[in-house]
Amino acid sequence: MNDLKEYKKKRDFMKTGEPRAKVKKGKNTDLIYVIQKHKATNLHYDLRLELNGVLKSWAVPKGPSTDPSQKKLAVQTEDHPIDYADFEGVIPEGEYGAGAVIVWDKGTYRNLKHDISLEEAYGKGKLEIFIEGVKLKGGYVLLRTGKKGDSDRRWLFIKIKDRYADARRNPVETEPNSVISNKKIEDLEET
């Protein structure tokens, strides 16, 4: 289930500054949540959630929402190593995913369900989680829309209706800076 082979195959670590493939061992209580803003050929937001020693990953083309009526497409991508959560930098031209990356939001997350583990919920294609980030907070659902075992990697990322839901907020537009360096993605491109 956790597989960094695809991650490794896509990258030349002599050329890119991205972290090397390494599965993290040992149990963690605080699971990492991170969203990286990535200005590749198409600008997108990479949502990553720690599960079983790797970061499960989805590319969200339009970014996350705090509005429960907004269903955001999230296309699953290859598992990433845990160390990737702190990666900011420019992936060189010609390399996979070339372009600037900033840590747009970061924090922890936990399972909202008590009757099913995160691993099982992930396998069934429906994660109900509580996110504690800087910009995103509260309940979110990740729902696989493709069939099980299918090559369709589409999921939906949706805010749950709770006290943190807010249809008027739009952090993708109003809070563009990195939560670790305070840089904008354009700042990295210029250097």
Closest residue to Mn ion using C-beta atoms: 38
Q: Which is nearer to Mn ion, 46 or 78 (CB)?
A: 46
Number of shown-chain residues binding Mn ion (CB under 5 A)? 2
**What x-and-dash track marks residues 1-40 binding Mn ion by CB under 5 A?**
-------------------------------------x--
Cα(188)–Cα(181) distance, rounded to whole angstroms?
Answer: 11
Q: Which is nearer to Mn ion, 44 or 137 (CB)?
A: 44
Distance of alpha carbon 117 from the chain centroid: 20
Q: Is the sign of the CA dihedral 87, 182, 165, 145 positive or negative?
A: negative
Residues of this chain, 56-115, that bind Mn ion according to CB under 5 A: none
Q: Which is nearer to Mn ion, 40 or 165 (CB)?
A: 40
**What x-and-dash track marks residues 36-65 binding Mn ion by CB under 5 A?**
--x-------x-------------------
> Which of 119, 118, 110, 117 lies closest to 139, judged by CA?
110
Q: Which is nearer to Mn ion, 99 or 139 (CB)?
A: 99
- Are the C-beta atoms of residues 113 and 128 closer than 8 Å to each other? yes
Distance of alpha carbon 31 from the chain centroid: 13
> Which of 15, 19, 76 lies closest to 51, judged by CA?
76
List of residues contacting Mn ion (CB under 5 A): 38, 46
